[in-house]
Amino acid sequence: MFQSIRDLIDKIGAMVSDHPFSCGFLAGLAAAFAILFVLLLLCLIFRPRGLRCIRIPSENGELRIDAKAVQDAIRSLAGGFRAFDVRRIGLYGKQDAVEIRIAVDFNGGDKPVSVLADRFRAAVARLTTETFGMTTPARIHLEILRSLADVPVVSADPGTSSGLPGGNGEETSASEPGQSC
């Protein structure tokens, strides 16, 4: 076929000089696919994994706490916080780093949601350290899915029904309903 590498290089050079756009397009397409493949591989390697149990090492062995036990304890703790209705709880992480993700509905309360969320996260942190003996701090993420609280309507003008732009109670939110952060 080719008698030497020099003949192969000459053949490729002739093909590029005859069809420069096609070769450049194919090279760009190959580079884009290579970058996408590397990004996909990195996402698969470094994604947070769902945990089935939490491992707590001790000098006499290892203590394994099932994720369901932690979820049930958090749900029972949430019963004391009437402002939140827990929808789902997930435990994620790698090795010693544990993330607890809690999705809730906000029912309203006497304090701002940020204050109530901080108290709830602190109570979950106390629960995981005091009840289960987790020595490594867990990151606790709280996501509010819906707000079921009554929102007071503020009227700027007596002729408008709300203080929002549009004035007639029109919804002028930049985000679409049902989309998450």
Q: What is the pLDDT along the chain (181 residues), one digit of tens a residue?
A: 557 888 888 887 787 778 777 777 878 888 999 999 999 999 888 877 788 888 877 788 888 888 898 899 999 988 888 888 889 998 887 656 788 899 998 887 788 888 888 999 999 988 888 888 877 667 888 898 888 766 555 555 555 444 444 444 444 444 444 444 4
| 60, 133: one domain | yes
Residue 121 domain-assigned (yes or no)? yes
CATH number of the domain bearing residue 76: 3.30.70.1350
Residue 140 domain-assigned (yes or no)? yes
Q: How many CB atoms lie within 10 A of CB 115?
A: 12
Check: CB of residue 124 under 8 Å from CB of residue 74. yes
* pLDDT, tens digit, 9 for 90 and up, residues 67-83: 898 899 999 988 888 88
CA distance 119 to 122: 5
> Looking at the 3D structure of the chain, how many domains does it have?
2
| 13, 57: one domain | no
| 24, 76: one domain | no
| 59, 143: one domain | yes
pTM above 0.85, yes or no: no
Q: What domain range is 22 assigned to?
A: 1-33
